Amino acid sequence: MKSVKTSLSILTLAALAVGVSSVTSVSAETFSEALQNGKTTINTRTFYFNRSFDKPGAKDAEAFTVGGIMKYETGKIGNNLKAGFAYYGSHSLFNIIDRNKGGGTSILQSNGDDIAFLGEAYLDYDTGTNQFKIGRQRLNGPIMNDHDIRILPSTYEAAVYRNKSLPNTTLEAGYVDRYSGFVSKLSGFDAQNAKWGTDGLAYVAAKTKLAGATIRGQYVDTIDDSGIYDNYSYLDGKLPVGFGNKTYLKAQYGGTAYQTGKDSSMYGFKAGTSFGPLDVAVLWNTIDDNIYRGVESGAMYTDWQQGYGNYEPSDAVGGQLIYHPISKASIKLGYVDVESKSGDAFNDDTYKEFNLDAKYKLSKASKVRLRYSNKDQDKNSAREDRDDFRVIYYYDF
């Protein structure tokens, strides 16, 4: 493991050296031009969230916030180098709703405080074929990604190298030291020593298109062995089928290896097609032996509503309907039936879930989204039935 960390440290230093040499090779005038040619973007979200439980005594959660990402990225410094900085925030809207109710929503901090921090701060050296990116940044792997499902995405302190030399292929390797937590709800970058160990994560990933099929995979290894997890792995593929309209088959595998105890395996299958404005799909997943999870985002077909774990051993089947009544609108309906096979009565998570996700584009810069889900637990389950209701208004400057 030490050799892996050493190699990643060399990669980081090399990338920084490339960036420094690019800066020192240009004049102060060129640097000034890069600042003047920079771009500022503001992506705002106004978010209402309500989660209610049917079990007496269970604490409901509710919050109404406004926030988003305000980002500045320089123009090119020299030929290929840029720098970027982004403020991440979520602020209770005039305290209309008691902050004490907001801790369980993940659009405020766990204690109900506002979220405010520097979410991105990076150097990005990109030739088109080779890219080195160092600093706080968003990632887009299947089991380590920005997980943008609340008001803010997750971001990572990382050193990343990407290569696009091969046709229709992206290869990636990186080192992650820490990250902003689940959907950035903690206003900071906390070390994940208990989960990852003290030395962070190393990963490799690839995505390619081959004979019409899309294949991607990611392997993430904990460098130090003092945490809970040993490694995470994932592979999936999508194959277009030559009949019907946009018909496809998808399959996936995921694995979580533990430092102690049984490892976990997840398998999934999805098939879909379209009938004019209607997209339909059937879904299946199974998890064996132990709890399955990714670093951030579970990527399971049957958990398209939330996309995160932990996931205990279980079998799940479901279906999706997506209706596009007009070009600016979509309505997604989903249903999943999950049968736990953990044998643990306390953690049994056998349930049926219905989900609605409706979107409407108001203009080029704005859209509104309504989401509702109902989770109906088995009568023998120790967990609570719950309803989630969310309304999000997006506006980009």
5 — phi, psi (to 5°)? -65, -40
Distance CA 281, CA 357 (A): 15
Rg (CA), the chain: 22
Predicted local distance difference test score (pLDDT) of residue 188: 84
CB 382, CB 392: distance < 8 Å: no
∠ at Cα 181 (177, 186), nearest 5°? 120
- Count other C-beta atoms under 10 Å from residue 360's C-beta: 15
In the chain, what are the domain boundaries? 1-227, 236-391
Alpha helices in 38-148 (DSSP H): none
For the chain, report the end-to-end CA distance as a whole number of angstroms.
Answer: 45
Residues 289 and 280: their CA atoms lie apart, in Å, by: 31
> How much is the pLDDT for 8?
46
Per-residue pLDDT, 192: 92
CA distances in angstroms from 275 to 18, 137, 238, 306, listed in the order given: 51, 39, 19, 27
Q: In the prediction, which pLDDT does 260 show? A: 92
How much is the pLDDT for 7?
43
pLDDT of residue 297: 76
Question: What's the pLDDT at 27?
Answer: 62
In this structure, the number of other CB atoms found within 10 A of the CB of residue 210 comes to 11
pLDDT number for residue 35:
83
CA separation for the pair 55, 72 (Å, rounded): 46
Q: Which residues contact 170 (CB under 8 A, 6 or more apart)?
A: 162, 163, 164, 206, 207, 208
For domain 1-227, the CATH class is: mainly beta
Contact by Cβ (8 Å): 66, 44? yes
At residue 58, the pLDDT reads 82
* pTM recorded for the entire structure: 0.90
Does the fold of domain 236-391 match that of domain 1-227? yes
- Which positions of the chain have pLDDT values less than 50? 1-20, 23
Which residues 6+ apart lie within 8 Å of 339 measured at CB?
Answer: 314, 315, 316, 350
How far, CA to CA in Å, does 350 sit from each of 53, 172, 194, 256, 340? 16, 37, 28, 21, 5
Q: Indicate the residue type of 13.
A: L
Using CA atoms of 22, 204, 148, 277 in order, give the dihedral in degrees to the nearest 10.
Answer: 110
- Residues 267 and 332: their CA atoms lie apart, in Å, by 24
pLDDT of residue 29: 61
| CATH superfamily for domain 236-391 | Porin (2.40.160.10)
- For residue 4, give both structure tokens: 């892996």
What whole-number distance in Å separates Cα of residue 311 and Cα of residue 289? 11
Whether 314 contacts 342, CB under 8 Å = yes
201 burial type by CB count under 10 A (0-12 exposed, 13-18 middle, 19+ buried)? buried
